[in-house]
Amino acid sequence: MSSNRQLALFLVIAFGFSWLCWVPDALVGQGFAVSTRTASAIRFISSFGAWGPLVAALAVTTIAEGRSGLLDLWRRVSRFRLGVPWYLVALALFPLLIGGALGIAILSGEPAPELPALERPWELPIAFLFILVLGGPLQEELGWRAVLQERLQERWDAFAASLMVGFTWGLWHLPLFFLPREEFYYNRPVWGLILTTMLISVLFAWLYNNTRKSVWAVLLFHTSFNWSHYVFPSLGSDVAGLSLFCLQALMLVAVVYAYGPRTLTRSSKMPGPTPIPH
């Protein structure tokens, strides 16, 4: 199967699976009248929507590469040896950026928000594990990075490919903006989320390519991003939200300047897969 067909199949499955789960719930959320039993069934089906990218990743990998592709995918998921600096990036960068943005807002005169998560510190590791498994990272990262980023990097430089991934990633969330949800980013314009996913997708590609394409690394990174928004509600403030956007943009510029747009690594050659032992 050609690379173009793999990309097309991935997008059809990822968007098709997720949107078929989410769109009926979005219609109900916008006032489409259904019975209470039907609404409950729709809401239950909607809860599976986030798994679309993972389903698409497994389907495309199986069809295009078979058993060897699935083994390579698992090897990248279980690539735990990142080195201390990259573990620090994966776990600490977003808390610093998101917490820092909230700090900037407070220093500018904004009232300090309540931080209920920090009042129960024993719950923080539990929340991190919950987010890792059910809060987005596991459902999405094998799709966005291990399949989509990989295929796009075959024909575009890593920087351009990551922007395309980020746009796709943000657009995929569109039906969720028509549902009543508590998350701050679903209560703001959709273009804000798309711009954010484009910015941070470059950082994800930087981490992914510099850890020998470790899916484990970006799973932690994605978890850290979502967890940091849970701990530091920076998007509840316009000043903090704008500060966070600027901090992420500055980080992107620093990464591209230091590592170069071609591979986002110190090498001009894209890291390749590790050979499968026979």
Q: pLDDT tens digits, residue range 84-132? A: 999 999 999 999 999 999 999 999 999 988 898 888 999 999 999 999 9
In a domain, 272, yes or no: no
Phi-psi region of 179 (alpha: psi -120 to 50; beta: other; left: phi over 0): beta
- Report which DSSP code applies to 189: -
User: Which residues, 6+ apart, have CB-to-CB distance to 202 below 8 Å?
Assistant: 159, 162, 163, 166, 252, 255, 256, 264
In a domain, 88, yes or no: yes
In a domain, 1, yes or no: no
Q: pLDDT tens digits, residue range 16-33? A: 999 999 999 999 988 887
Tokens of 141: 């990262």
The whole-angstrom separation of Cα 130 and Cα 190 is 25
In a domain, 45, yes or no: no
User: Under a CB-based contact definition with an 8 Å cutoff, are residues 190 and 155 in contact?
Assistant: no
Tokens of 277: 């032992």
Total of domains in the chain: 1
User: Under a CB-based contact definition with an 8 Å cutoff, are residues 226 and 98 in contact?
Assistant: no
In a domain, 209, yes or no: yes
The whole-angstrom separation of Cα 216 and Cα 243 is 29
In a domain, 264, yes or no: no
In this prediction, residue 31 carries a pLDDT of: 84
Q: Which domain holds residue 249?
A: 81-259
In a domain, 63, yes or no: no
- For tokens 């990309």, name the residue: 7
Q: Mean pLDDT over residues 53-59, rounded?
A: 98
Chain centroid offset of residue 210 CA:
17
> Model pTM?
0.93
Beta strands in 108-244 (DSSP E): none
